[in-house]
């Protein structure tokens, strides 16, 4: 089972690690779906030594038929990570504005790229501030890193694989809010509803304000949604950001094999031939 030591780090522990001679590389990935840009937050104050990395342009590919936040080009991702000072085998800590979504997608992207020593600051920037720890406004200029991106270290679902999971080959979790799942509203994508057979488990069921419950509580909540040790599991949301947080929660619950449907709903509805379901039930 995955423990929390290699997934999350609390603010006080991170502060102690930053005092070491060779501290972790800090990436500030604050982001909001509707803006304003996270760089504005970074400029106003960030963890000392943190480098800003933009979720939209550095950690994801350009939006299109593959989704609003598709996989990045490996060469472009490698260049962005090296510019941020990420070194091969050296620990990285990512943080966001507190909800944990952008940080989880950054965590997932680095691990997918083959960089295992990456953790998420539990509670994000607000947890650091609440602990009375220092913030900085100076922008560091780290020495270029030497990380090599090796895609595929975490499992990814395409639309066909997601459909097969939802059809009974496993469990496909839809972690969007219930009204979006039911098809009552869709504020972002052009079609409302869900992948037929997907089970709705809105993010607040397993994480609150970017803070995760204990592993036992997570296992209970996922089990109630049909996730067991013997069935493959994947997750999707609108564009693969909130669902990356679900994958992190599944890792915490002991399911490091959990797959992310990166394109998520924004990719699913890009093909009008794909079926769409509505209502409360995950009828196939």
The set of catalytic residues is 237
Report residue 3 CA to chain centroid gap: 18
Q: Is 172 exposed, middle or buried (0-12, 13-18, 19+ CB in 10 A)?
A: buried
Distance CA 152, CA 71 (A): 11
Query: Which structure tokens are listed for 24?
Result: 């972790």
Query: Which structure tokens are listed for 16?
Result: 């102690």
Distance CA 25, CA 120 (A): 12
Helical pair 101-112 and 242-252, crossing angle rounded to 10 deg? 70
Distance CA 14, CA 128 (A): 9
Distance CA 69, CA 51 (A): 21
* DSSP character at residue 205: G
Distance CA 139, CA 47 (A): 10
DSSP helix/strand/coil, 150: coil
């Amino acid at each position: 089972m995955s423990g929390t030591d290699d997934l999350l780090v609390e603010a006080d522990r991170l502060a102690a690690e930053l005092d070491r001679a060779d501290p972790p590389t800090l990436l500030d990935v604050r982001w909001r779906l509707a803006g304003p840009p996270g760089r504005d937050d970074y400029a106003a104050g960030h963890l000392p030594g943190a480098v800003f990395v933009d979720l939209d342009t550095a950690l994801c590919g350009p939006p299109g038929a593959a989704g609003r936040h598709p996989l990045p080009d490996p060469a472009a991702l490698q260049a962005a990570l090296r510019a941020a000072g990420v070194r091969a085998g050296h620990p990285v800590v990512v943080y966001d504005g507190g909800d944990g979504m952008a940080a989880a997608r950054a965590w997932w992207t680095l691990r997918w790229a083959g960089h295992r020593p990456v953790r998420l600051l539990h509670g994000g920037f607000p947890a650091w501030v609440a602990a009375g720890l220092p913030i900085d406004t100076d922008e560091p200029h780290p020495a270029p890193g030497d990380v090599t991106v090796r895609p595929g270290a975490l499992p990814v679902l395409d639309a066909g694989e997601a459909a097969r999971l939802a059809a009974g080959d496993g469990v496909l979790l839809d972690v969007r809010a219930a009204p979006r799942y039911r098809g009552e509203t869709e504020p972002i994508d052009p079609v409302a509803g869900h992948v037929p057979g997907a089970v709705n488990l809105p993010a607040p069921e397993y994480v609150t304000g970017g803070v995760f419950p204990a592993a036992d509580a997570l296992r209970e909540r996922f089990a109630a949604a049909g996730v067991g040790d013997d069935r493959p599991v994947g997750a999707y949301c609108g564009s693969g950001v909130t669902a990356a947080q679900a994958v992190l929660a599944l890792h915490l619950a002991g399911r490091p094999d959990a797959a992310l449907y990166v394109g998520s709903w924004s990719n699913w509805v890009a093909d009008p031939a794909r079926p769409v379901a509505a209502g409360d039930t995950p009828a196939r």
